[in-house]
Amino acid sequence: MKKTIITLSLSLCLCLVFCGCVWKTSENKDKNVPKGYITYKKYLDRERWMDWTDYCCYDYGKSAKVELPENYRPLCEKDCILTVKRDVEEFIKWMREAKRESELTFSEDDITENDYAYIVQERVNSTIEMYYFDSDTNILHYMFTKW
């Protein structure tokens, strides 16, 4: 009887640990992605030595009011739009070379004055990480490029 109780207790603990791990890993921990998205699509580069997200779309629904973090900037000036378009073109070129262009759900033509972006460039690691929010579709596009 004592062995049965111990076995059941250990089984319950393992089950709780496993469920906790699955629950924790399914959370989005990126503070730059606003909460409230309905669906998302995540694309990984499987040919690299690590699987990391290099493209992701977060759909908030057409009528949702999305609260963007403070670090997002409105694309209200022509030079702002040109900077974002340049980085998006670079990302699209990178996806095209990897024969993954079909995964993209937008183009540089979608970038307009109503949109928002947050760009992190690391010259040391040669990376660009971009969050581009398309106000017309209420979709956030996350892009990661390493050149």
Q: Is residue 50 part of a domain?
A: yes
pLDDT of res. 23:
39
Q: Is residue 14 part of a domain?
A: no
Q: Is residue 113 part of a domain?
A: yes
Could you report the average pLDDT of every consecutive run of 10 residues in the chain (147 residues)? 59 49 50 94 71 81 91 89 88 85 87 92 77 95 82
**Interacting residues of 47 by C-beta distance below 8 A, sequence separation 6+:** 98
pLDDT of res. 21:
41
Q: Is residue 85 part of a domain?
A: yes
- Neighbour order of strands in the sheet with 116-122: 39-44, 53-59, 139-146, 127-134, 116-122, 73-74
pLDDT of res. 95:
85
16-20 contacts, C-beta under 8 A, 24 or more apart: none
Q: Is residue 91 part of a domain?
A: yes
Alpha helices in the chain (DSSP H): 2-26, 78-97
Q: What is the pLDDT of residues 51-65, one digit of tens each?
A: 455 899 999 998 889
Q: Is residue 2 part of a domain?
A: no
Residues of the domain holding 48: 27-146
Q: Which amino acid is at 46?
A: R
Distances (CA, A) of 125 to 105, 120, 145: 27, 11, 10
pLDDT of res. 123:
66
CA atoms within 13 A on the CB side of 121: 7
Q: What is the pLDDT of residues 132-144, one digit of tens each?
A: 999 999 999 999 8
Q: What is the pTM of this model?
A: 0.73
Q: Is residue 5 part of a domain?
A: no
The count of structural domains within the chain is 1
pLDDT of res. 19:
46
